[in-house]
């Protein structure tokens, strides 16, 4: 009876987790459809560049230090976790002091490729803090709280904003209003989960920083950072190239289809990778290569299932969605969606060799793979977009993700032969 009750509780827990994350993803998708319907394609392109610039900038602020600290955190005792997290906080404090003035200067001197720049720094800091809290909760094996955090940061403010709009209490016709709701939602998330982390791990009294540990972390994290930035070039450079070569309207159209297709890897990471990659690292640390291989096989099966089902759903529902949006300039470019779905399928598959390399500590190989893909996408992106516009952007992304997947797969094959 007790075992049966525990199984039921575990099932309910998993369903709640999935529901929270699913609603979070769907609400952001709802925001995208709302903007596509009620705002202009120029505004959609402007928002896309704003959102992309936020993501790139908070990666610079974080320097991917969490990759180093998370690998250390997993499988350690609480008192050791406290030391690692404390030193991580010291690192971020120092980096904020160093990087934020440079960003302010760059914004003032060079400007930004979108409107409402006054919200940029506020949302940047809140999003970075929120993302680091989310990552920390995952590393601490608190997936439910991580999903609650993501729900507050990504969904509640969107749901409230859309309800107010559709009940005619507040009419959302300007991007500035969207940014204001975003600030409120992110602020609430940071306050709640910063409080939780501080008091659950008793971080009230900070100990002296371990400079040696932080330096080591900075050096190792630099490989991750370079790799992440190279990957973001693969993922997002086409939007900036489109803005350079064409118009913001073209950026908006491409971004809409790109975000629809990217639901595949968002769901894959949320429902598969987020749960399995800590187990993969633990299996490697305990030298249990049988478990390691089984987890990889489980990843593959789940990725194939999720990508297959989601691709089918997207293909079936895209025409009704475009009918609701009712913008001919968007509907005319529907063909790029199929290319972008194929691209995101390859990206999802690349998660498997990526976390294999990560578990083995082969950070340089991840970097080489990402940089190779980035160079490929930049060169082909400029050439193809110059001649084919949005279609060229989709093809160059597909090619970049193919290079990323094949190179990482090659490195894991040789790694296994060499080391095991």
In a domain, 215, yes or no: no
* Helical segments of 269-389, H only: 274-285, 289-325, 328-331, 336-360, 363-388
DSSP string, 48-98: HHHHHHHHHHHHHHHTTHHHHHHHHHTT--HHHHHHHHHHHHHHHHHHHHH
Number of domains in the chain: 2
202 and 241 co-located in one domain: no
Domain boundary among 160, 181, 209: 209
Three-class SS state of 44 = helix
pLDDT at residue 332, rounded to an integer: 93
Cα-based distances in Å from 247 to 52, 113, 278, 389, 420: 16, 12, 42, 10, 52
Give the span between the Cα atoms of 167 and 164, in whole angstroms.
Answer: 5
pLDDT of residue 21: 75
Residue 9 lies in a domain: no
202 φ/ψ angles, rounded to the nearest 5 degrees? 55, 55
Residue among 285, 362, 353 at smallest CA distance from 67: 362
Over 80: is that where the pLDDT of 75 sits? no
Kindly report the length of the chain. 420
Domain end position, chosen among 209, 235, 270: 209
pLDDT band per the 50, 70, 90 thresholds, residue 203: low
Q: Which residue has the tokens 């002296």?
A: 208
- 291 and 167: one domain? no
Whole-number pLDDT of residue 281:
85
Average pLDDT for residues 239-249, to the nearest whole number? Answer: 90
Is 20 within the bounds of a domain? yes
Domain assignment present for residue 72? The answer is: yes
Q: Are residues 74 and 183 in the same domain?
A: yes
Report if residue 214 sits inside a domain. Answer: no
Q: Are residues 139 and 277 in the same domain?
A: no
Q: Are both 167 and 70 inside the same structural domain?
A: yes
Q: Is 229 in the same domain as 375?
A: yes
- The label of the residue with tokens 């190179």 reads 407
Looking at the structure, tell me whether residues 83 and 196 fall in a common domain.
Answer: yes
Q: Are residues 90 and 135 in the same domain?
A: yes
Quick one: pLDDT at residue 386?
A: 92
**Residue 280: HSE in the Cβ half-sphere, 13 Å Cα cutoff:** 24
Residue 5 included in any domain:
no
Shared domain check, 236 and 134:
no
| Predicted confidence (pLDDT) per residue in 161-198, tens digit | 999 999 988 888 889 999 999 999 999 999 999 999 88
Least Cα distance to 274 among 409, 146, 152, 149 occurs for 146
Domain assignment present for 6: no
Residue 418: band (very low, low, confident or very high) from pLDDT cuts 50, 70, 90? very low
* pLDDT for the residue numbered 113: 61
- 199 and 236 together in one domain: no
Residues 237 and 95 in one domain: no
341 and 277 share one domain: yes
Cβ burial, residue 10 (10 Å; 0-12/13-18/19+):
exposed
Q: Residue 326, exposed/middle/buried by CB under 10 A (0-12, 13-18, 19+)?
A: exposed
| Residue keyed to tokens 């976790």 | 81
Whether 3 shows a pLDDT value over 60: the answer reads no
Residue 80: domain span? 14-209
Does residue 218 form part of some domain?
Answer: no
Q: Is the pTM of this model over 0.85?
A: no
Mean pLDDT, the chain, rounded, equals 87
Domain boundary among 165, 187, 209: 209
């Amino acid at each position: 009876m007790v075992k049966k009750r525990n199984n039921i509780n575990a099932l309910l827990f998993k369903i709640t987790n999935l529901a929270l994350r699913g609603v979070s993803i769907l609400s952001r998708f709802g925001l995208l459809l709302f903007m596509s319907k009620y705002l202009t394609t120029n505004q959609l392109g402007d928002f896309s560049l704003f959102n992309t610039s936020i993501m790139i900038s908070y990666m610079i602020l974080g320097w991917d230090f969490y990759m180093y600290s998370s690998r250390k955190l997993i499988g350690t005792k609480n008192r050791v976790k406290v030391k690692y997290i404390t030193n991580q906080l010291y690192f971020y404090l120092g980096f904020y002091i160093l990087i934020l003035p440079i960003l302010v200067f760059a914004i003032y001197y060079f400007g930004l490729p979108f409107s409402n720049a006054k919200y940029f720094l506020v949302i940047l800091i809140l999003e970075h803090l929120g993302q680091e809290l989310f990552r920390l909760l995952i590393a601490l094996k608190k997936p439910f709280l991580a999903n609650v955090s993501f729900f507050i940061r990504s969904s509640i403010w969107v749901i409230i904003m859309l309800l107010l709009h559709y009940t005619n209490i507040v009419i959302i016709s300007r991007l500035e209003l969207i940014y204001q709701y975003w600030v409120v939602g992110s602020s609430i998330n940071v306050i709640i989960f910063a409080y939780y982390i501080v008091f659950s791990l008793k971080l009230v009294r900070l100990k002296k920083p371990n400079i040696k540990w932080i330096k080591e972390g900075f050096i190792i994290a630099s490989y991750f950072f370079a790799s992440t930035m190279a990957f973001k070039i693969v993922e997002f450079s086409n939007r900036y190239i489109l803005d350079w070569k064409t118009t913001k309207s073209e950026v908006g159209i491409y971004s809409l289809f790109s975000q629809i297709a990217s639901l595949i890897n968002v769901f894959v990471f949320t429902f598969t990778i987020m749960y399995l990659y800590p187990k993969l690292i633990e299996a490697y640390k305990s030298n249990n290569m049988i478990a390691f291989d089984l987890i990889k096989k489980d990843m593959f099966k789940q990725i194939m299932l999720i990508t297959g089902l989601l691709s089918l759903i997207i293909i079936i529902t895209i025409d009704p969605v475009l009918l609701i949006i009712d913008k001919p300039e968007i509907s005319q470019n529907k063909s790029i969606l199929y290319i972008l779905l194929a691209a995101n399928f390859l990206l999802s598959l690349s998660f498997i060799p990526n976390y294999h390399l990560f578990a083995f500590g082969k950070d340089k190989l991840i970097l080489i793979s990402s940089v190779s893909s980035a160079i490929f996408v930049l060169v082909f992106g400029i050439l193809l977009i110059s001649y084919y516009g949005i279609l060229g952007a989709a093809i160059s992304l597909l090619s970049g993700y193919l290079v990323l997947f094949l190179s990482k797969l090659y490195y894991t094959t040789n790694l296994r032969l060499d080391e095991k």
